[in-house]
Structure 1
Amino acid sequence: MSTSPILTLKGVHTHIGAYHILHGVDFEVPAGEVTMLLGRNGAGKTTTLRTIMGLWQASQGQLSFKGQPLNGLATPDIATRGIAYVPENMGIFSDLTVKDNMVLAARAARHAGELDTQRLEWIFGLFPALKKFWLYPAGKLSGGQKQMLAVARAICEPRALILIDEPSKGLAPSIIQNLVTAFNELKRQQTTILLVEQNFMMAKALGDSVAVMDDGRVVHRGRMKELAEDESLQQRLLGLSLGAHQ
């Protein structure tokens, strides 16, 4: 049984230039859960995340976080409300060290000495490679380590909601499992996650609820477990089944 929503989208439309990308998106993100946002390429998933963050403004509809409207707010104002965003391109600063990347992400810290030591050790527990490469330029990290840094930057301070766009893309299975473990730990810490993902086994392992998009609309909402157990529904909504990815 789902909890009350922390984030709600009602009838959200987004235009990018002359292109009408989102066509009335409706779904809720229950507090304290991992919600999967699934769909074929080009369905509008990334646009939905970027609209929530105010990187693109909704042309119609309502977005609310903890019951307060997000419409019209600038991205920094949305971030200060407790929402973090990990984009598909990770958004890290390649020329800066891992340490400097973390300091920049922490609103309460002007230098490394002001980082929350207890939280930093918790993050190192999730991603030991970041401690090992603390003084390395981020651009010299492996793809998996860069993704770990991107997630670490989003959680360097407590956030109520994290939006994550395809974190497993191009990563080895062992790194993906590391991310699954980290996301489950975040959920235990009462952090809500909205996760766009193409790896269906990761979706099955993590997801509590799910929204499936097609052509700029949400065409299915429900519990991830129900979708994972219904191969005909997977085939109809996504064009393939979770069972094919064992």
Structure 2
Amino acid sequence: MSDKLLTLSGVHTHIGAYHILHGVELAVPRGQLTMLLGRNGAGKTTTLRTILGLWRASQGRIVFDGQDITQAATPQIAGRGIAYVPENMGIFADLTVKENMVLAARGAKNASQIDGERLQWIFSLFPAVEKFWNHPAGKLSGGQKQMLAVSRAIVEPRELLIIDEPSKGLAPAIINNMIGAFEQLKAKGVTILLVEQNINFAKRLGDTVAVMDNGVVVHAGSMKELAEDEELQHSLLGLAL
């Protein structure tokens, strides 16, 4: 069993008067892709945002690479090598694709200072990023914006990628392209925590899986085992994979 890069132990999160997470237990093995599944409103996005410090855990402990980050500020957490792609992608629409990438490459003041070999690798994963390099990011299609959002997250080496529903609203051909990119990232040893509603996406990519319901993790284990157990799928998700 791989060691755990990220663990959540008994994590509770309140947002205003609402108690959203009720003691989340989650382990993300190093070098694997962990799928976080569950019905809408189960607490998946809140879990991601709590890990990043965007919402503060009111109870429990979050440990990343042996360090307690429960009370750390979001910039400190990002500085440890965690990248986050939110569901809304968070791109700067008025900036060009190039300017978005330069902002994400914290060590670069201009595009020429981005690691050239890494940039060419990103272009090989997402040719649209190179094609529209000098275009305003707001003019891109939904799929192209998603490619840019993931490209920004990997423009520098990261220990952990946290991605919220990367296939949402995308055409099947673009989803296949995204799957290929994540497979390459996995091959490079990048650890990924991914929220996804596309079940075929989850089956093809996931190593481990955690299923949430009502603010807690109700199942954790092998993605392959869940994909092969229709009765378990129905009980956890109300559907068959």
TM-score, structure 1 normalization: 0.97
Q: How many residues align?
A: 241
Query: Per-residue deviation at 1:71?
Result: 1.1
Residue aligning to 1:19: 18
1-structure distance, mates of 2:72, 2:55: 10
**Structure 1 unpaired stretches of 5+:** none
Residue aligning to 2:186: 187
Task: Report the 3-state secondary structure (helix = DSSP H, G, I; strand = E; otherwise coil) of the residue aligned with 1:95.
Answer: coil
Residue aligning to 2:81: 82
Task: Report the 3-state secondary structure (helix = DSSP H, G, I; strand = E; otherwise coil) of the residue aligned with 1:59.
Answer: strand
Query: Per-residue deviation at 1:143?
Result: 0.5
Residue aligning to 2:94: 95
Residue aligning to 1:162: 161
TM-score, structure 2 normalization: 0.99
Residue aligning to 1:62: 61
Query: Per-residue deviation at 1:30?
Result: 0.2
Query: Per-residue deviation at 1:110?
Result: 1.0
2-structure distance, mates of 1:157, 1:220: 33
1-structure distance, mates of 2:91, 2:73: 20
Task: Report the 3-state secondary structure (helix = DSSP H, G, I; strand = E; otherwise coil) of the residue aligned with 1:102.
Answer: helix
1-structure distance, mates of 2:240, 2:68: 37
2-structure distance, mates of 1:144, 1:71: 33
Residue aligning to 1:215: 214
Cα displacement string for residues 35-73 of structure 1 (whole angstroms, at most 9, x for unaligned residues): 000000000000000000000010000000011001111
Query: Per-residue deviation at 1:27?
Result: 1.2
Residue aligning to 2:132: 133
Residue aligning to 1:71: 70
2-structure distance, mates of 1:150, 1:89: 9
2-structure distance, mates of 1:146, 1:239: 31
1-structure distance, mates of 2:174, 2:232: 29
Query: Per-residue deviation at 1:87?
Result: 0.0
Query: Per-residue deviation at 1:223?
Result: 0.3
Residue aligning to 1:118: 117
Residue aligning to 1:228: 227
Residue aligning to 1:35: 34
CA RMSD of aligned residues (A): 0.4
- Aligned residue identity for 1:127: F
**Structure 2 unpaired stretches of 5+:** none
2-structure distance, mates of 1:110, 1:232: 53
- Aligned residue identity for 1:231: E
Residue aligning to 1:241: 240
Task: Report the 3-state secondary structure (helix = DSSP H, G, I; strand = E; otherwise coil) of the residue aligned with 2:57.
Answer: coil
Query: Per-residue deviation at 1:150?
Result: 0.2
Query: Per-residue deviation at 1:109?
Result: 0.5
Task: Report the 3-state secondary structure (helix = DSSP H, G, I; strand = E; otherwise coil) of the residue aligned with 1:22.
Answer: strand
Residue aligning to 1:46: 45
Moved over 4 A (4+): none
